[in-house]
Amino acid sequence: MEISDVSLVKPGLRERKKQQTRERIASVALALFAERGYDHTTLAEIAEAADVSPRTIFAYYQSKEDILFCDEPLMYERLERMLRERPAGATTVDALREFIASFDESDEQNVLRKRIIGASEGLRLSERARSAPMEELVTASIARDLGDVGPDDIRPRLIAASVTAAFGAVRERLQQGEAGEPIPHEEALEILDQVLEFLRGGLEALQRS
């Protein structure tokens, strides 16, 4: 019985250690990107600062860009869950509003990441290019809003593309602000609500048609 218990505990400890290493690499990398600039920071420098080998970094991340955007998989997983588990009567737009509002704007790493991306046109383009998973999730959710329409119905994909483009534009505005700094969270939500109200009206019109 004791052997069995130990065998159950060890994988958990190992996984926690791996997660700690992964988070340390990401945290150190963000600090270096902010201090030296994303383009001027090498993987070797990140490895040295994180006290790991370059080979260890490649066990967790494929590139500097993967490190910078390391929060994306969990973010899309949370979005998928919120879209899937939205209450009866709530639309995709309602779930998106709740999703955005749930972000912790006091998280220092999130603030740092915004500043790093906002300072680089190339990174903003990369962020936009990496939004395909969000568009797919929104497409499937809008298809449910419209009565589980078939795959040949182009409306969900067109609306999802509009939603993704709108969120991308707002996100860039939030990252850059007026003087290269992120704007306050309250102002961000006000802008977001204006965009969502427009999208909600279009979706409701399609539901009535």
Distance in angstroms (rounded) separating the CA atoms of residues 165 and 195:
11
Please count the other Cβ atoms lying within 10 Å of the Cβ belonging to residue 101: 13
- Give the mean model confidence (pLDDT) for residues 134-159: 87
CATH superfamily placement of domain 71-208: Tetracycline Repressor, domain 2 (1.10.357.10)
Distance in angstroms (rounded) separating the CA atoms of residues 9 and 99:
34
Residues 6+ apart with CB under 8 A from 199: 93, 159, 162, 163, 166
Q: Does domain 2-67 have CATH number 3.40.50.2300?
A: no
- Give the mean model confidence (pLDDT) for residues 42-68: 95
Q: In the chain, list all ranges with CATH 1.10.10.60.
A: 2-67
Q: What is the pTM of this model?
A: 0.75
Q: What is the pLDDT of residues 73-102, one digit of tens each?
A: 888 999 999 999 998 888 888 898 888 777
Side chain identity at 101, as an amino acid letter?
A: A
Q: In the chain, list all ranges with CATH 1.10.357.10.
A: 71-208
Side chain identity at 88, as an amino acid letter?
A: A
Which phi and psi angles does 85 have, rounded to 5°? -100, 15
Side chain identity at 61, as an amino acid letter?
A: Y
Q: For a pLDDT cut of 90, what percent of the chain falls above it?
A: 34
Burial class of 98 by CB neighbour count within 10 A (0 to 12, 13 to 18, 19+): middle
| 64 has pLDDT over 90 | yes
| pLDDT bracket for residue 108 (50, 70, 90) | confident
